Amino acid sequence: MAPRPPWRVAVAGTAVAALGFSAFSPFASAATAAATDYESENAVISQGVVESNHAGYSGTGFVNFDNVAGSYVEYSVNAAQAGTHTLTFRYANGTADNRPVKLIVDGGDKGTVDFPATGAWTTWQTVTATVQLTAGVNKVRTTATTANGGPNADKLTDTFTAPSDSEPPSPPSNLAASNILPTAATFSWTAATDNVGIVRYEINRGGNILKTVGGTTTSATVDNLTPNTAYDISVGAYDAAGNPSQQSNVVAFTTPPSTDTTPPSVPGNLRSTGVTANSVSLAWNASTDNGGTISAYDVFQGATKVASTTSLTSTVTNLNPNTSYTFTVKARDPNGNSSAASNAVTVKTSAPGGAGGIPEYDKDITKVDLGWAVDFLPNGNALVTERDRFEILLVTPAGQKTTLGTVPGAVTTTGEGGVLGLAISPNWASDHAIYVYHTASGDNRIVKMTYDGTTLSSTSTPVLTGIAKNRYHNGGRIKFGPDGKLYATVGDAKNSDNAQNKSSLNGKILRLNADGTAPSDNPFYATGGNARYVWSYGHRNPQGLAWDSRGQLWAAEFGESSLDELNLIQKGGNFGWPSCEGTQGSCSGFIAPKKTWPTSQAGPSGVEIVNDWIYIAGVTGKQLFATQITAAGTGVGTVSTLFSGRWGRLRSVTKTPDGGLWLTSTNNDMNGGTPSVLDNVIVRLKFPAAH
């Protein structure tokens, strides 16, 4: 996980200066509330010890971090008022070296605080950090980052310095790209404005950060691009309170090829890792390339290319039982240079019979524009959302497609917003209700419409509003659970602090009644406000929901730059974003994912479960993942990668009433899509044996 910038930290100086405020800032002139002390010896301590052998401490002692990287002190800071707070740390450091700690507030990474030498262990000094706290108890953790551990920590003093700033900056404008090279490009833009001040800009590819620069910078060169690759770039602004702007205009371009003509090394040790009557699973060792990037591995069945994947595994389907097949693999770099073929491996499929979880292609259903979600009516017909056209389609199993109408008030974000999730009421036969998650002019929202089998209503009724939107990270999947409640995945809207703030609806999985009220058995119902709807939190951009035979909820989630996730959701659980991405970062105390993938291989969106096999539609990896839940129900087994590259970016996977699966592809999605390569389609998969 890339380190997050320490833009909120002030060391041995004023917090106002650290946030970029002028001396005349309205925040700087705010009245300062009384300070509250929190003695370190009364905090939660990990791998440290309470001591009293150096004079001058307050309270009954101090905490020695005990020369252990990862040791921490966690204070429970009870803020009477939300807003900007100055945290003053009293410490001693009798060594000659700085002893930095990572500052984490409610799971969010607030940068590094330096604790320089004080000259002696009996000499006590202070450093400060400026952070945003919510009203109520905030978990403030200081974690040693080096083998020297942290300083001797005496106490933390919390001082409220300014009210909450909820006004976001304006979007940066006039983004332009210049000097586009195979591995670099320069970007410039017109500055955003803010009621207080801009502290940073993030340069994004899709929803992922390529580079972060300071709030006074309006041009930057990104030098980690890949040759011969399509990019869509935008810039977002952030203020000191963490409020994100909407994104700038998007600049799309393709980097030129480099002069590299050297092919990658040959993939090694191609081998079979499993067979069924209709499939063969393969694995191989990674290739290397002088340019450092392998863009794909091409899998050949004889002379025919049958898969193209960024993974080191692939499962080839639609094979005949009791038949031998020979496979090879070649590696390809971004310039199109291909390696020689790997060793050949010949594998015989098994005899027919027996249930299995590996589906095979059955038929194309119909072409669509950007089909985001699918749900089936009792008669076997499906309703499908068109993200960017704002339409709801009726699609029959035979492929007949009818546009029923548009979702009123839906707008685009020219990115990941629009008409997203769809859920048909479990009582549709009597109430004819359907639920839609869509972007509106001021928010993301869940609304209710009616469809009586013939006519889609032209109006909608709001069910839940006020979900923050952005070009990226809108989440958007909705499904009714076995308990009859409506669940929704909500992204952090490009403000990672939302994920740990239970007063925000963003960065969460939400649970609500069909009428939009919050169920009284939700884990934070007693807290009131938006927290009443929170089922789990600490999510970046979840987009997949499904339940297994035990009634357990599984969810898939896009990572930032390291790892995508498959999570087994716990009621009230904290899944760690932004402090933890997958298993990388500061992950102690958070719920770990059951499976992770490099972000280049997955991009998990829709999730479906059939007979305790999980199927995950991969957008970035352009493949379907299949894995079986373990007998204990607490994990998953080996993951198979299916249909790699065949239909491109896969957005949703949905079980059909007749025992198959429907997949939707979304290659016209210019957030990483390549519409000139493949049409967007709905395809049907079938299970060749009883399943």
Q: 3-state secondary structure string, 588-620?
A: CCCCCCCEEEECCCCCEEEEEEECCEEEEEECC
Q: What's the pLDDT score for residue 28?
A: 34
**How far is the C-alpha of 528 from the C-alpha of 532, rounded, in Å?**
5
- 453-491, pLDDT tens digit by residue? 999 999 999 999 999 999 999 999 999 999 999 999 999
Lowest-confidence range among 129-133, 279-283, 370-374, 562-566?
129-133
CB 668 within 8 A of CB 386: no
pLDDT in tens, 666-682: 886 645 455 445 679 99
498: left (phi over 0), alpha (psi -120 to 50) or beta: alpha
The residue written with tokens 């209710």 in the block is: 448
Query: Mean of the pLDDT values across residues 141-146?
Result: 94
Q: Would you say residue 25 has pLDDT above 60?
A: no
Q: Which pLDDT value is given to residue 689?
A: 67
| Residue 527 · residue 533 · CB < 8 Å | no
Residue 484 DSSP label? S
Give the contacts of 418 (CB within 8 A, at least 6 positions apart): 370, 372, 387, 388, 390, 410, 411, 412, 438, 439
**Residue tagged 């109430």 (tokens):** 431
Q: b vs e for 171-190, b when ≥16 Cβ sit within 10 Å of the residue's Cβ?
A: bbeebeeeebebbebebebe
Do 46 and 75 touch, CB atoms closer than 8 A? no
Mean pLDDT (the chain, rounded) = 92
Order of all β-strands in the sheet with 391-395: 371-376, 382-386, 391-395, 401-406
Residue 290 has pLDDT above 70, yes or no: yes
Number of H helices, E strands in the chain: 2, 51
Region 594-603: mean pLDDT is 96
**Higher local confidence (pLDDT), 616 or 675:** 616
pLDDT of residue 667: 80
Q: With bands split at pLDDT 50, 70 and 90, how would you rate the model's confidence at 163?
A: confident
| 270: amino acid identity, one letter | L
Q: Above 70 in pLDDT, residue 607?
A: yes
Q: How far apart are CA 504 and CA 584, in angstroms?
A: 24
Q: Does 1 have pLDDT greater than 80?
A: no
Evaluate if residue 5 carries a pLDDT over 70.
no
Split at pLDDT 50, 70, 90, the class of 106 is confident
Residue 1 or 472, more confident: 472
- Is the pLDDT score of 23 beyond 80? no
- Full-model pTM: 0.84
Residue 10: pLDDT above 60?
no
pLDDT of residue 356: 75
Mean pLDDT to the nearest integer, 151-166: 92
pLDDT for 354 equals 67
CA nearest 286: which of 277, 296, 301?
Answer: 296
pLDDT digits (tens, 9 = 90+) for 298-312: 999 999 999 999 999
Least confident of 121-125, 613-617, 678-682: 678-682
pLDDT at position 669: 62
What are the b/e assignments for 333-362, b being 16+ CB within 10 Å? Answer: bbbebebebbeebebebbeeeeebbbbbbb
The secondary structure of 255-270 as a DSSP string is: PPP-S--PPPPPPEEE
3-state secondary structure of 444: strand
Residue 7: per-residue pLDDT: 34
Q: What's the pLDDT score for residue 675? A: 46
pLDDT at position 134: 83
What confidence tens digit (pLDDT) does each residue in 658-667 have?
999 999 998 8
When pLDDT is averaged across residues 491-515 and rounded to a whole number, the result is 95
